[in-house]
Amino acid sequence: MSIPHKVGTVKSKQAPNVNTQPKAPVAKGVKAAGKKRDEEEATDTAEGEEWMQGKTLVKPPDQLDLTEKELNEEITRVLTANNPNAPQNVVRYSFKEGCYKPIIFVDQMAIHFELEGNLVHKESDEGQRLMAKQAEREDGAGDEKLDNLAKAGKKARKLTNQFNFNERASQTLNNPPRDISCQTEPPPRANFSATANQWEIYDFYVEELKRREKSKEKQEGQFLNKEEDKSKKKMIQAETQSDDISQLAHAAKIIERMVNQNIFDEVAQDFMYFEDAADEFRGEKGTLLPLWKFLYDKAKGLSVTALCWNPKYNDLFAVGLGSYEFTQEERGMLLFYTLKNSSYPEFSFNTASGVMCVDIHEQMSYLVAVGLHDGCVAVYNLKKKSDQPIYNSTASSGKHRGAVMQVKWQKDDLDSNHNFISVSADGRVVSWTLVKHELVFTDIIKLPAMDKVPDDLKDVIATAGTSLDFHKQKDYHFLVATEAGKIHKGSKYYSSKFLETYDAHFMTVSRVRWNPFHPNVFISCGWDWMVKIWDHTIESPIFTFELKTSVTDVAWAPYSSTVFAAVTTDGKVHVFDLSINKYEALCQQKVVSKKTRLLHIEFNPVHPIIIVGDDRGHVISLKLSPNLRKKPKEKKGQELPKGPEVEIAKMEQLLSSLR
């Protein structure tokens, strides 16, 4: 029997008389059925009532006959959205796995009806086009045309809607592109080749060192050379060298000084502080306290021929070493000692022949002039490290033909060139000027011949000059002493004759010196055992002293116009103070061992010490005891009078007492 299917029914009822059995699931269907029935039979209220009252049911003929049980049985039906017409066992070939694989998910959509719409949005492109077409078509209408246009225009105008955001874009004018290309010149190139070997490196370094030494010398000489500039430029880069050695030298020097000071500590203390208290009890007499002894073993066999204190550095002095004997070997040395180091000279220079005299320039204390035994004069520059003099008169003519006995620096001439004057055994007094690289000589005067020499030989046999001194104030006045025992007073401006001649000694005059304070007084000493003091206006000496042996040197004290000291060949030092005792020495002291002759003496310009040189090449320093350094007693209440005037006055007093 066919069961009538009604579309949309959820449940199918089994029994028509379901109304009476109000079971929940069935009730739905009943209600639905009930509603339908109501609708069908709604017109008849009476029938409704009848239905509600429950009346006899009409059974359709082809309905199933089921038992009560079967009627009550619940049959569940599920509705799914599956498309019954969709295939359920679709199989596809999978290339990956190489076999047929069933596809599980099959599209279940069944399209019952499809209709494409013909609505177009009026603001879309297509809509606009259509509207425009429409407007064209209705153009022919005439009156309506404007309206239509207006309408179209209206329609075409966008509705301003504040919620509608507009995009505006515009394109500026783009300049047309243009291709430009350029090729620069490549940076210039050059080839370079070299070899880097150990020997090349070594050679180059050696060369460089040599070059540096040379240019250093040149630099110090203040000569500008084009080549030197170039090499300087090359040097500048490499001047980051580390001067290990020279720094060490400096440190070593300091240590040397310290060691020396420690060794000679007592001497140094004496030098500074010791004042002989015993002097008070000695009356007038004084003593000399030996301090340092300077000797240099390379100077063995040489005698001290010259001594000179450095005017700028009061502890530095120069010693010239040579020989007075003509037979001895010709060599000489110039040494510089400092009181701070008595064991080794600060500077030493070897000279080809014996040094006979030394003078240090007053202002430029590094310029040292020496006169040599062979007649040469040389100038050394202490600032330079080299052993050679910066000037030497060997090459030039005008070299003395005899030993140079004395040199003295003069003030710079008008061209600011340094110059000095020398006197030698050939009887000439010559002025030497330092001009750039050379010494230029000018004869000043020639010593007059000795009386004993016959007239025709006067030009040949020269009168040897032995000493020279310039006046302290009027420096064009000078005194020259000769071997003949005469002293000549001359003037630089007057070259033909001497102003005056004094018959000083019977034998060689070994030294003549002006008094440092009094302008008229000078002193001389000679091998005839005499020391004489003169007033240059008077022909005969004012004072005469006889010392027992040949006097080799005499010197005025720098602190007093009446004090002087003399050295003799018996090794004694004699110190005189004329203001205290006009006849006798205040001190006569032997300072060297037997058979050593003292040859030179010099006072230190500042300290109360003297240095004496002997013929063994030794220099001994001695300190003057207080008695020898007396200054005039000041009266109570009076100020201490100043130096020079007092000294001059002292001397004047003395002199006047004698006249």
CB of 180 to other proteins, least distance (A): 24
CB of 628 to other proteins, least distance (A): 53
**Is there a contact between 379 and 439 (Cβ–Cβ < 8 Å)?**
yes
Q: 165 or 192: whose CB is closer to other proteins?
A: 192
Q: 207 or 329: whose CB is closer to other proteins?
A: 207
CB of 234 to other proteins, least distance (A): 7
CB atoms near residue 552 (< 10 Å): 24
Q: 22 or 187: whose CB is closer to other proteins?
A: 187
* C-alpha–C-alpha distance, residues 482 and 466, integer Å: 5
* C-alpha–C-alpha distance, residues 337 and 5, integer Å: 150
CB of 518 to other proteins, least distance (A): 59
Q: 200 or 546: whose CB is closer to other proteins?
A: 200
**Is there a contact between 216 and 228 (Cβ–Cβ < 8 Å)?**
no
Output 214-217 pairs: Cβ under 8 A, ≥24 positions apart.
216/385, 217/384, 217/385, 217/386
| Amino acid of residue 315 | D
- Phi first, then psi: give them for residue 616, nearest 5 degrees: -95, 0
Q: 46 or 245: whose CB is closer to other proteins?
A: 245
**Is there a contact between 30 and 19 (Cβ–Cβ < 8 Å)?**
yes
| Amino acid of residue 545 | F
CB of 206 to other proteins, least distance (A): 8
Task: For residue 38, give the nearest of 21, 20, 25, 50 by alpha carbon.
Answer: 50
* C-alpha–C-alpha distance, residues 461 and 457, integer Å: 6
Could you tell me the CA-to-CA distances from 9 to 79, 264, 490 in Å, in that order? 11, 144, 168
CB of 199 to other proteins, least distance (A): 10
Task: For residue 288, give the nearest of 632, 626, 582, 531 by alpha carbon.
Answer: 626
CB of 241 to other proteins, least distance (A): 3
* C-alpha–C-alpha distance, residues 255 and 261, integer Å: 10
**Is there a contact between 649 and 657 (Cβ–Cβ < 8 Å)?**
no
Task: State the SS3 of 302-361.
Answer: CEEEEEEECCCCCCEEEEEEECCCCCCCCCEEEEEEECCECCCCCEEEEECCCEEEEEEC
* C-alpha–C-alpha distance, residues 293 and 269, integer Å: 15
Q: 13 or 216: whose CB is closer to other proteins?
A: 216
**Residue 598 burial (C-beta neighbours within 10 Å; 0-12, 13-18, 19+):** buried
Q: 76 or 242: whose CB is closer to other proteins?
A: 242
Residues 6+ apart with CB under 8 A from 582: 543, 654
Place of tokens 């310039």: 470
Query: Which tokens in the block code for residue 358?
Result: 């030394």
CB of 205 to other proteins, least distance (A): 4
Q: Across-strand partners of 381?
A: 367
Q: 195 or 638: whose CB is closer to other proteins?
A: 195
CB of 387 to other proteins, least distance (A): 21
The number of angstroms, rounded, from the C-alpha of 351 to the middle of its chain's C-alpha atoms is 38
Query: Which tokens in the block code for residue 525?
Result: 């000493």
CB of 326 to other proteins, least distance (A): 41
Could you tell me the CA-to-CA distances from 159 to 154, 162, 567, 610 in Å, in that order? 9, 9, 137, 127
Q: 55 or 234: whose CB is closer to other proteins?
A: 234
Q: 166 or 242: whose CB is closer to other proteins?
A: 242
CB of 187 to other proteins, least distance (A): 5
Q: 248 or 658: whose CB is closer to other proteins?
A: 248
Task: State the SS3 of 31-94.
Answer: HHHHHHHHHHCCCCHHHHHHHHHCCCCCCCCCCCCCCHHHHHCCCCCCCCCCCCCCCCCCEEEE
CB of 218 to other proteins, least distance (A): 20
Q: 189 or 642: whose CB is closer to other proteins?
A: 189
Q: 193 or 593: whose CB is closer to other proteins?
A: 193
Q: 114 or 244: whose CB is closer to other proteins?
A: 244
Task: Give the H or E element holding residue 396.
Answer: none
Footprint of other proteins on this chain (CB under 8 A)? 187-198, 201-202, 204-206, 208-209, 234, 237-238, 240-242, 244-245
Q: 59 or 210: whose CB is closer to other proteins?
A: 210
Count of positions (residues) in the chain: 659
CB of 198 to other proteins, least distance (A): 6
Q: 237 or 537: whose CB is closer to other proteins?
A: 237
Q: Across-strand partners of 308?
A: 318
CB of 256 to other proteins, least distance (A): 22
| Amino acid of residue 3 | I
CB of 202 to other proteins, least distance (A): 7
CB of 215 to other proteins, least distance (A): 15
**Given CA atoms 423, 428, 434, 438 in this order, what sign does their dihedral have?**
negative
CB of 255 to other proteins, least distance (A): 21
Q: At what angle do helices 125-137 and 143-156 cross, to 10 degrees?
A: 170
Task: Give the H or E element holding residue 377.
Answer: strand 377-381
* C-alpha–C-alpha distance, residues 381 and 364, integer Å: 10
Q: 176 or 188: whose CB is closer to other proteins?
A: 188
